Amino acid sequence: MTEAKRLAAEKAMTFVEDGMIVGVGTGSTVAYFIDALGREPDRIRGAVSSSDQSSQQLRSHGIEVLDLNSTGPLALYVDGADECDPRKRLIKGGGAALTREKIIAEASDRFVCIIDPSKQVDVLGAFPLPVEVIPMARSLVARRILAMTGGQPVWRESVVTDNGNVVLDIHGLRISDPESMETALNQIPGVVSVGLFARRPADVVIVGGPTVSIL
């Protein structure tokens, strides 16, 4: 799947226009996209980054990392996903960067999602759904999630997010109504963000492989 990720990422360069400020996600697929940007670093004005990891990689290529508060709305956001359904609704957050990813997606006119074919699903939920949570609310949120969804929340113990929070991964879901679940989980006090990108799905999905598809 590594080659498929690289091919999807390279294709995303066709959406980059000269002088743009590009929103940049996080993960192994996006890492290929950052490398592609790094081959022509002067083409763009800079990037808004969704994680410390991506910021570091961007800077290593001489690309300036800008603050979203100074840039205003972005024309383009490029990011990967853990799952993608036929309506371009996504599960994201496998890399624990979901909150900043969601902020940048919301701030962007066009969200181009780059994936390998293994990420395509009919129904979201086989990939455990990440939820970023304020640390003191971890147990409360876990109980509410169990009662609300029937899924099993598992604390990703080794991880502290770039925002200083924890992540619960909800196992055993089959998400028939992603918009409603996203809204409902967002209401639990202590939830910072939910890795469902249904209310703001991707606009374009690029699936890498021997033939690259643009959906």
- Other Cβ atoms less than 10 A from the Cβ of 206: the count is 23
Q: Is 92 annotated as contributing to ligand binding?
A: yes
Which range in 12-20, 22-30, 60-68, 179-187 contacts ligand 5RP by CB under 6 A? 22-30
When asked if residue 26 is in the footprint of ligand 5RP (CB under 6 A), the reply is yes
CA distance 37 to 26: 14
Alpha carbons within 13 angstroms on the beta-carbon side of residue 42 total: 0
Phi, psi of 84 (to 5 degrees): -145, 125
CA distance 91 to 88: 10
When asked if residue 29 is in the footprint of ligand 5RP (CB under 6 A), the reply is yes
Q: Which residues contact 182 (CB under 8 A, 6 or more apart)?
A: 194, 196, 198, 199
Which range in 55-63, 70-78, 90-98, 172-180 contacts ligand 5RP by CB under 6 A? 90-98
Judged by CB under 6 A, which of 82, 83, 132, 169 binds ligand 5RP? 82
When asked if residue 128 is in the footprint of ligand 5RP (CB under 6 A), the reply is no
Catalytic residue among 10, 17, 83, 101: 101
When asked if residue 81 is in the footprint of ligand 5RP (CB under 6 A), the reply is yes
**101 labelled catalytic:** yes
Query: Which residues here bind ligand 5RP, judged by CB under 6 A?
Result: 25-29, 79-82, 92-98, 101
